[in-house]
Amino acid sequence: MNSLWMSIQFFVLILLELTVLFLGISTLVGLALQYVSDETLRRWLSRKGLLGNFLGATLGAITPFCSCSTIPMTVGLLRADVPFGATMSFVLASPLLNPIILTMFWVLLGWKACVVYFAVTFVGAMAAGVLLEALGFAKDVKRVRISGGADAREVQPTLKAKVRVAFAGAWADFAGVLAYLVIGVAIGAAIYGYLPGDFVVRLAGPGNPFAIPIAAIIGIPLYVRTETVIPIALALTQKGMSMGAVLALIIGGAGMSIPEMSMLAAIFRVRLVSAFVAVVAVVAIVAGFVFNGI
């Protein structure tokens, strides 16, 4: 009964906390994006060199997309002749970095984990774009066609109207991820209440040098949103799992998945898809070892 009560407390408190964070931060992001047009974003991203990669990773960091939602935006960027390297930086950063994820990290896992996660994934996204472009992977982009095109965002006349639209968008996004949040928090609650701590420490504690690459490899085939895995990560860390392994699991699981591989294969050739999977794995492993080393 004590374990059940602990699990219920964890579930209720964390779910309420994540709900407030998601709606609040998502509304603020939606409000900010109403002041920047799609054409302006594309013009910024068309800068060549490291600045383009930086802006591509920055766009990924402010847009609350999951890995599969990133693909339509990627097609739009490629059709708008945004440089390949900047686009690839966006593709890697988009599902891993956004204000919602970073706030959840800060609140649930601490500022240190948040800073390491942001720094490694942002730099990794920039480096991935530079490396893939330098190695000539741009020629592995297929010619793609999408009907219609991006709908122009309707400009709202007043701040009140903008806030209303931003909150409506935040609520729609929240409804789309609510099931993932509930599943993630429920799994985390079960781990928190019932999983023996010594088992977690033995399998994935700080003393196991293979825990980080194994966590990254396990995460990649799974289709999990970062918002889903963070509550699970919180429970695992409280049971003794090393934060490095947790970061590797989060980056591997949220940065790549089998559904995303399939969608990427529609616009990229196999060689580029394979290289991108390898980049995600390397970023996940590096993040894990960097955290455990500091």
Q: Residue 151 domain-assigned? A: no
pLDDT above 70: percentage of residues in the chain:
76
- Cβ proximity of 242 and 200 under 8 Å: no
Helix, strand or coil, per DSSP, at residue 186: helix
Residue 95's pLDDT band (cuts 50, 70, 90) = confident
Whether 174 is covered by a domain: the verdict is yes
What's the mean pLDDT in 120-142?
A: 91
For residue 86, is pLDDT > 80? yes
* Residue 13: closest CA among 247, 194, 179, 188: 188
Q: Give every CB contact of residue 52 below 8 A, 6+ residues apart in sequence.
A: 45, 46, 82, 83, 85, 86, 89, 129
Q: What is the mean pLDDT of residues 102-109?
A: 81
pLDDT over 50 (residue 244): yes
Provide the pLDDT for residue 122: 94
Asked whether residue 210 is domain-assigned, the answer is yes
Task: Report the pLDDT value the prediction gives residue 150, as an integer from 0 to 100.
Answer: 41
Is 256 within a domain?
A: yes
Give me the pLDDT at residue 47, please: 76
CA distance 148 to 257: 27
**Ranges assigned E (strand) in the chain:** none
Q: pLDDT at position 162, please? A: 87
Structural domains of the chain, count: 1
* CA distances from residue 144 to 76, 137, 141, 152, 191 in whole angstroms, order as listed: 10, 16, 9, 21, 44
Residue ranges making up the domain that contains 110: 2-142+156-293
Number of Cα atoms under 13 Å in the Cβ half of residue 160: 0
- Region 133-153: what's the mean pLDDT? 67
150 in any annotated domain = no
Comparing CA positions, the residue from 44, 70, 101 lying closest to residue 227 is: 101
Q: Is residue 60 pLDDT above 80, yes or no?
A: yes
| Mean pLDDT of all residues in 265-293 | 87
Q: 203 pLDDT exceeds 60?
A: yes
In a domain, residue 22? The reply is yes
Is 149 within the bounds of a domain? no
The mean pLDDT of 202-226, rounded to a whole number, is 73
Question: How many other CB atoms sit within 10 Å of the CB of residue 197?
Answer: 12
* Distance from C-alpha of 9 to C-alpha of 41, rounded to nearest angstrom: 43
Please report the pLDDT score of residue 148 as a whole number: 38
The mean pLDDT value of the chain amounts to 78
Q: Which residue has the higher pLDDT, 207 or 170?
A: 170
Short-list 40, 41, 39, 83, CA closest to 62: 41
**Cα(167)–Cα(172) distance, rounded to whole angstroms?**
8
In percent, the amount of the chain with pLDDT more than 90 equals 8
Residue 57 lies in a domain: yes
pLDDT at residue 152, as a whole number: 44
Residue 145 has pLDDT above 80, yes or no: no
Does the pTM exceed 0.85?
Answer: no
pLDDT at 139 over 60: yes
Retrieve residue 281's tokens.
């794995």
pLDDT in tens, 157-201: 788 888 888 888 888 877 876 886 788 678 767 766 776 656 656
Distance between CA atoms of residues 70 and 94, nearest Å: 7
Cβ burial of 253 (10 Å; 0-12, 13-18, 19+) is buried
Q: Tell me which residue has tokens 């994540």.
A: 18
